[in-house]
């Protein structure tokens, strides 16, 4: 066994050796006496395991000195928190037993009954408390969408959230001790690659793209992991053995989001949460879709690059990316090539990636002035659900109302996310009328033969796919308003 994981917890530096690299943070916490965090689902859905990670804001970047984010401990591997501050519910009250303002608010609002889920709620609210000004109800609902409660219900919990007064209450010891927290975080920062080996596994965490490319070239069979919102389930649910893991999150270059004049350039390790401000500015419909992906804990860890590279047929981002003609920058031992997303997938969860090659960046062109873009996700519930069908459309017309360009990307309809080429061909050069849209909707039967599974029947999927295309026509012709909050379809 070699290497150690170092992080800050309980006001001191903790060093861990000898654990399997796929030991989850939750399992390690509970095995070491911190049992406030609970296991409910072991897949990042219920929020009972929610903890908070604190990280020092890089020099030169705007923001508070320490950034806090709520994450799911049940699917987070222990080496992934190297260099970070780990907070659990046990850390909130001070040494004298005085409650944190979040805990006090939960107490005053009578927001706990059996208590199983309460620590997760407290930690989700702690991250919200440290996010800035007093939150409004939409922000509260968004922060708590990844936490389930079946005892008191949400009314008293929401009331507790409304009682919080961020950055005002002097009883918040985390604000008073910020200098000490920063000093501890600096003490566990690394400059080179982290390597941890134990119990038959190896975890590698490079710091630069060049080091990542070299490592992956030497270990082409390694599993790349960014936020572990999918890979974590391979272990907790699939019980898979992952002999070599390469962690992308520490590579600063892969977090860059560049807003160019005509496109976004997004590093493969940029989280959904980090990406949202840029999407809000340039592609608000896409931003609304991203807010439907998982919940805050998932978006704080999950990445657009991981969603693309994973290649799930129901990955929510890909239909939008297909409609926008996104491109991928691939890297193999320092040699780069650009591949359109439309030509990336070769079959179910397979792609053109060669051994040792990885997705480095995603480029998303902005729609041209006058083009219309929309995306809808249809699922059984609004939050925390997998799509039955997700569809995105982009349309350009000439001055006479004729279709000069049309892209339709679909997820949940085939073994891979795919464009509806027959439907696209059915409208090019024709006037954008209800008859043209109907012809395109009928042509979808040439593009897809959807399956029946637990989420939806094949007939339902086919009908929804047609109806979403017809809905896009109604939106673009002014017959139906397109409200971003109605993106769930």
Annotate 419-475 with three-state secondary structure. Answer: ECHHHHHCCCCCECCHHHHHHHHHHHHHHCCCCCCCCCCHHHHHHHHHHHHHHHHHH
Residue 234: burial class (beta carbons within 10 Å; 0-12, 13-18, 19+): middle
CB within 8 A of 355, min separation 6: which ones? 220, 221
Span 243-254, pLDDT tens digits: 999 999 999 999
Domain CATH for 168: 3.10.20.30
Statement to judge: residues 351 and 489 lie in one domain: no
- Residue 480, pLDDT score: 80
Statement to judge: residues 226 and 355 lie in one domain: yes
Within-domain flag for 5: yes
Cα–Cα distance, 128 to 141 (Å, whole number): 11
Cα–Cα distance, 50 to 145 (Å, whole number): 12
Q: What mean pLDDT comes out for the span 353-365?
A: 98
Within-domain flag for 36: yes
460: pLDDT strictly greater than 60 = yes
Domain CATH for 341: 3.30.465.10
Statement to judge: residues 201 and 335 lie in one domain: yes
* Residue 169 pLDDT class (50, 70, 90 cuts): low
**Torsion angles phi and psi, residue 474, rounded to 5:** -65, -35
Instruction: Report the b/e string of 420-445 with b at 16+ CB within 10 A.
Output: bebbbebbeebebeeebbeebbebbe
- Residue 318, pLDDT score: 97
Statement to judge: residues 82 and 49 lie in one domain: yes
**Torsion angles phi and psi, residue 218, rounded to 5:** -80, -25
- Residue 410, pLDDT score: 98
* Residue 487 pLDDT class (50, 70, 90 cuts): very low
Cα–Cα distance, 55 to 67 (Å, whole number): 5
- Residue 171, pLDDT score: 53
> Using an 8 Å Cβ cutoff, are 275 and 299 in contact?
no
- Residue 489, pLDDT score: 44
> Using an 8 Å Cβ cutoff, are 402 and 430 in contact?
yes
Q: What mean pLDDT comes out for the span 335-360?
A: 97
Within-domain flag for 320: no
* Among the ranges given (89-98, 209-218, 416-425), the one the predictor scored with the smallest mean pLDDT: 89-98
Taking each helix axis from N to C end, the angle separating 137-144 and 155-163, rounded to the nearest 10 degrees, works out to 120
Cα–Cα distance, 122 to 105 (Å, whole number): 10
Return the HEC string of 97-166. CCCCHHHHHHHHCCCCCCCCCHHHHHHHHHHHHCCCCCCCHHHHHHHHCCCCCCCCCCHHHHHHHHHCCC
Range of the domain at 17: 1-189
Statement to judge: residues 151 and 179 lie in one domain: yes
Statement to judge: residues 280 and 411 lie in one domain: no
**Torsion angles phi and psi, residue 124, rounded to 5:** -65, -40
Statement to judge: residues 149 and 224 lie in one domain: no
Residue spans of beta strands (DSSP E) within 199-340: 201-205, 223-225, 244-247, 257-259, 263-267, 327-332, 335-340
Within-domain flag for 53: yes
With H, G, I as helix, E, B as strand and everything else as coil, classify residue 27: helix
Residue 488: burial class (beta carbons within 10 Å; 0-12, 13-18, 19+): middle
Cβ atoms < 10 Å from Cβ of 350: 12
Computed over its alpha carbons, how large is the radius of gyration of the chain? 23
Q: What mean pLDDT comes out for the span 236-262?
A: 96
- Token couple for 439: 């012809």
Q: Kindly report the average pLDDT of the chain as a whole number.
A: 94
Sign of CA dihedral 382, 385, 388, 390: positive
Statement to judge: residues 344 and 460 lie in one domain: no
231: pLDDT strictly greater than 70 = yes
Q: What mean pLDDT comes out for the span 322-346?
A: 98
Span 32-43, pLDDT tens digits: 999 999 999 999
> Using an 8 Å Cβ cutoff, are 102 and 164 in contact?
yes
Statement to judge: residues 272 and 169 lie in one domain: no
Q: What mean pLDDT comes out for the span 452-469?
A: 95
* Among the ranges given (127-136, 387-396, 407-416), the one the predictor scored with the smallest mean pLDDT: 127-136
**Of 159, 189, 219, the domain-final residue:** 189
143: pLDDT strictly greater than 90 = yes
Span 66-108, pLDDT tens digits: 999 999 999 999 999 999 999 999 999 988 888 999 999 999 9
Span 272-315, pLDDT tens digits: 999 999 999 999 999 999 999 999 999 999 999 999 999 999 89
CB within 8 A of 231, min separation 6: which ones? 223, 225, 242
Span 113-137, pLDDT tens digits: 898 999 999 999 999 999 877 789 9
Statement to judge: residues 399 and 340 lie in one domain: no
- Residue 488, pLDDT score: 45
30: pLDDT strictly greater than 60 = yes
Total domains, the chain:
3
Within-domain flag for 109: yes
Domain CATH for 395: 3.30.390.50
CA distances from 376 to 289, 371, 379, 391 (A): 7, 17, 10, 6
* Residue 1 pLDDT class (50, 70, 90 cuts): very low
Q: What mean pLDDT comes out for the span 226-235?
A: 96
Cβ atoms < 10 Å from Cβ of 60: 5
**Of 155, 189, 223, the domain-final residue:** 189
Question: Partners of 6 in the beta sheet?
Answer: 15
Cα–Cα distance, 320 to 275 (Å, whole number): 15
CA 389, 383, 130 angle in degrees (round to 5)? 140
Tokens 């026509």 locate to: 473
Cα–Cα distance, 161 to 135 (Å, whole number): 8
Within-domain flag for 27: yes
Q: What mean pLDDT comes out for the span 466-471?
A: 97
Within-domain flag for 119: yes
CA distances from 149 to 112, 262, 431 (A): 9, 44, 51
- Residue 384, pLDDT score: 85
Residues above pLDDT 70, as percent of the chain: 97
- Residue 164, pLDDT score: 85
Statement to judge: residues 261 and 250 lie in one domain: yes
Q: How far is CA 383 from the centre of its chain?
A: 13
Statement to judge: residues 255 and 339 lie in one domain: yes
Cα–Cα distance, 104 to 163 (Å, whole number): 9
Cα–Cα distance, 485 to 483 (Å, whole number): 5
**Of 156, 189, 222, the domain-final residue:** 189
Cα–Cα distance, 217 to 332 (Å, whole number): 7
Cα–Cα distance, 331 to 325 (Å, whole number): 20
Within-domain flag for 231: yes
């Amino acid at each position: 066994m070699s290497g150690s994981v170092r992080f800050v917890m309980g006001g001191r530096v903790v060093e861990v050796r000898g654990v399997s690299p796929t030991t989850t943070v939750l399992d390690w916490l509970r095995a070491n006496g911190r049992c406030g965090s609970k296991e409910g689902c072991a897949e990042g859905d219920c929020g009972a395991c929610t903890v908070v990670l604190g990280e020092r804001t890089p020099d030169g970047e705007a923001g508070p000195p320490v950034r806090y984010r709520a994450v799911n401990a049940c699917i987070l591997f222990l080496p992934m928190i190297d260099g970070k501050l780990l907070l659990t519910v046990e850390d909130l009250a001070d040494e004298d037993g005085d409650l944190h303002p979040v805990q006090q608010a939960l107490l005053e609002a009578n927001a706990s009954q059996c208590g199983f889920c309460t620590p997760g709620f407290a930690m989700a609210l702690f991250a919200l408390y440290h996010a800035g000004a007093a939150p409004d109800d939409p922000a509260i609902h968004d922060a708590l969408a990844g936490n389930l409660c079946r005892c008191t219900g949400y009314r008293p919990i929401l009331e507790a959230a409304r009682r919080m007064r961020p950055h005002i209450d002097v009883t918040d010891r985390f604000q008073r001790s910020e200098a000490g927290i920063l000093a501890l975080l600096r003490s566990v920062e690394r400059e080179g690659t982290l390597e941890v080996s134990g119990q038959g596994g190896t975890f590698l965490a490079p710091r630069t793209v060049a080091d990542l490319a070299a490592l992956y070239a030497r270990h082409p069979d390694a599993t790349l992991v960014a936020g572990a919102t999918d890979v974590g389930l391979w272990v907790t649910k699939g019980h898979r053995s992952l002999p070599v893991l390469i962690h992308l999150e520490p590579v600063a270059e892969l977090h860059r989001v560049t807003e160019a004049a005509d496109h976004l350039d997004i590093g493969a390790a940029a989280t959904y949460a980090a990406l949202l401000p840029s999407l809000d500015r340039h592609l608000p419909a896409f931003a609304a879709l991203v807010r439907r992906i998982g919940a805050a804990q998932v978006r704080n860890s999950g990445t657009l690059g991981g969603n693309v590279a994973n290649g799930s047929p129901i990955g929510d981002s890909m239909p939008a990316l297909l409609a926008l003609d996104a491109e991928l920058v691939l890297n193999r031992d320092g040699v780069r090539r650009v591949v359109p997303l439309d030509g990336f997938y070769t079959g179910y969860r397979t792609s053109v990636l060669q051994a040792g090659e990885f997705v480095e960046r995603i480029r998303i062109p902005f729609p041209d002035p006058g083009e219309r873009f929309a995306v809808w996700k249809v699922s059984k519930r609004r939050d925390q659900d997998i799509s039955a069908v997700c569809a995105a459309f982009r349309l350009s017309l000439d001055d006479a109302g004729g279709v000069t360009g049309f892209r339709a990307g679909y997820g949940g309809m085939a073994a891979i996310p795919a464009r509806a080429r027959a439907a696209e061909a059915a409208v090019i050069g024709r006037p954008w009328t209800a008859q043209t849209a109907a012809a395109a909707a009928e042509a979808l039967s040439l593009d897809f033969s959807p399956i029946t599974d637990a989420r939806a029947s094949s007939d339902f999927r086919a009908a929804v796919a047609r109806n979403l295309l017809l809905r896009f026509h109604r939106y673009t012709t002014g017959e139906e308003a397109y409200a971003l909050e109605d993106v769930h379809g």
